[in-house]
Chain A
Amino acid sequence: QKEVEQNSGPLSVPEGAIASLNCTYSDRGSQSFFWYRQYSGKSPELIMSIYSNGDKEDGRFTAQLNKASQYVSLLIRDSQPSDSATYLCAVLLSGTYKYIFGTGTRLKVLA
């Protein structure tokens, strides 16, 4: 079982819709979770971090964390073509400085 799993996609959504990206992780002790966006040919950029169960909102982005289910998700409201990118989920392994990245979900927002 991979430590951090994401559906590779592509996930296609129409402009203006909500894009829902999901991630599961295997380390039950992990407490820190991150979402990154990576455009083709560029390095990842941090979108959000989340540490507590529940929702965390930042503009059009909402991260959701459920530690009992070992599940973290990212919702993008009012999706724009400029949101088309690969979204990486990352988990900080408990008791370490090691960040484990998923393989990413490619999102396509259709104009």
Chain B
Amino acid sequence: GAVVSQHPSWVICKSGTSVKIECRSLDFQATTMFWYRQFPKQSLMLMATSNEGSKATYEQGVEKDKFLINHASLTLSTLTVTSAHPEDSSFYICSARRGLAGTGELFFGEGSRLTVL
């Protein structure tokens, strides 16, 4: 399968600081990437859809000023959690779509576990 790399895997930060998570598609170009968060024993929650060269589309209830998404190239999307608070602690996972529209498979990064103290 295709390779999507996410970094960092773990991050611990103090309340009020910002954290940037990178998501890279290593062996294919991804015009569309997705960002999810997942709480323990719960299902994936889509936060936003990231399209290369344009603004991200956020799901209802997700604060776009808090979760900044940038998709500056066909292989890199970043998620910045601004002014993080303990309630932002979660498992953040990116995915990249490979293939033609209507049939593309999603490949996931390894995930980033954020703990805000």
Q: Which of A's residues lie within 8 Å of B, judged by CB?
A: 31-32, 34, 36, 41-46, 49, 51, 88, 90, 92, 97-99, 101-104
Contact = CB atoms under 8 A, between A and B. Distances in A.
A103 B103 contact: no
Interface of B: 1, 6, 32, 34, 43-44, 46, 49, 91, 93, 97, 101-111
B102 A99 contact: no
B110 A42 contact: yes
A43 B110 contact: yes
A43 B23 CA distance: 13
Contact of B108 (A31, A45, A51, A92): A45
A42 B111 contact: yes
30 contacts: A32-B102, A32-B104, A36-B108, A42-B111, A43-B6, A43-B108, A43-B109, A43-B110, A43-B111, A44-B44, A44-B93, A45-B1, A45-B108, A46-B106, A46-B108, A49-B105, A90-B106, A92-B102, A92-B103, A92-B104, A97-B32, A97-B49, A97-B97, A98-B46, A98-B49, A99-B34, A99-B106, A101-B44, A103-B43, A104-B43
Nearest to B1: A46
Contacts of A49: 103, 105
A103 B86 CA distance: 25
A97 B101 CA distance: 7
Contacts of A43: 6, 93, 108-111
A65 B43 CA distance: 23
- Residue among A43, A51, A103 facing the most chain B CB atoms (10 A cut-off): A43
A102 B93 CA distance: 16
Contacts of B34: 99
A36 B111 CA distance: 15
